[in-house]
Structure 1
């Protein structure tokens, strides 16, 4: 058995949508004022997390409505009352139900993930460039205010050479299939 969440339109009882980890052969209808019937389910399930309510939720504007749910002979019947009288919801009721599992042979295979090697390489260049830019910024600030040390100057030069090397990665002969990444300054 699998979980599903369905939204039923209060005015008509029509199935608005279904989100399912299993079968989707679920239908709904309104059989009278405040009475909604749902077929194709295996009954209600606790709404996750299990300790925070059972099987349904209402729009906050109608949260004072009373909801009774009965599952018998394959029919899930949801009865809504307000102030003791049958009540057609103005919005929707969301039900958390059990549905039959989908047989594995009916589960469509996922389409293959196509990875564009150019996009992957460019994303890595952008990532590495951001690291270089961050490292260069503080070193360059020290130079700009005449507070750079010899070690800082050497580090600045190394990071700038690294950034230039990154900009030349797309010029490599086997780019993007084979990339020789420049070494990150220490």
Structure 2
């Protein structure tokens, strides 16, 4: 069986560092992916912090149009942490999550970081699949960590990838 999204030629994306002028777009995109989204002021505060860095991905040729996805990470004491990663619904299944995570991994390798950690909702099968393909493995579980609306809370998987 051939999946439709695999038979199409992937679109080209430009991956670049997050800029302070991106905060409104980051907040809008975060609201699309999370039940308790961060606002523009929270993003501005985060990206002003020295250990925080991130990347946006935009369709090639779109200029400074809003990002199709982004990732924010932090590096401290030789360990990286993914703070958040979001891909717009309209751009999912096109390899954008992989591109964004690859940008973070490359940056951490340049800094000689030892490991990268993240937390992911245990019900987010596509994200878990991506992280496992990227070499992450589960090192912990936080029960009842995420709450979406009136539904029951779900747990978070704590995952790690060794970088050395």
TM over 0.5: no
TM-score (norm 2): 0.24
Greater percentage in strand:
2
TM-score (norm 1): 0.22
Instruction: State the structure with more CA Rg.
Output: 1
